[in-house]
Amino acid sequence: MLLALLLAAPPVFASDAVIASRGQDVTIIEGRERTVYEYRQNGILRMIRVVPAVGRPYYLTPADPTRGYGNLEQADMLVPKWILVEF
């Protein structure tokens, strides 16, 4: 029965440009030039981390953090922010 279900399901093909994996609260979108991590809490987009193929990782944050109640999908504009020092 399981074999019949697998054969009836349409095949899934992943393109080389974008492969999306879904974890519990993190969506990972891999591409040739960068990997994007979307962090969600209760279905609300809270943080976006971008890891470029060349260069330092950065976070996309709202230009005005007081608008949208922390939901990045409601932000007017997202600006990059880099971590300068970690210890």
Q: Where are the domains of the chain?
A: 15-82
Determine the pLDDT at residue 62. 83
| Structural fold of domain 15-82 | S-adenosyl-L-methionine-dependent methyltransferases (2.20.130)
* pTM of the shown model: 0.65
pLDDT in tens, 41-63: 888 888 899 999 999 999 998 87
CA-to-CA distance for 28 and 49, rounded, in angstroms? 10
Confidence of residue 1 (pLDDT cuts 50, 70, 90): very low
Residue ranges with strand state E in the chain: 19-22, 26-30, 34-41, 44-52, 58-62, 78-82
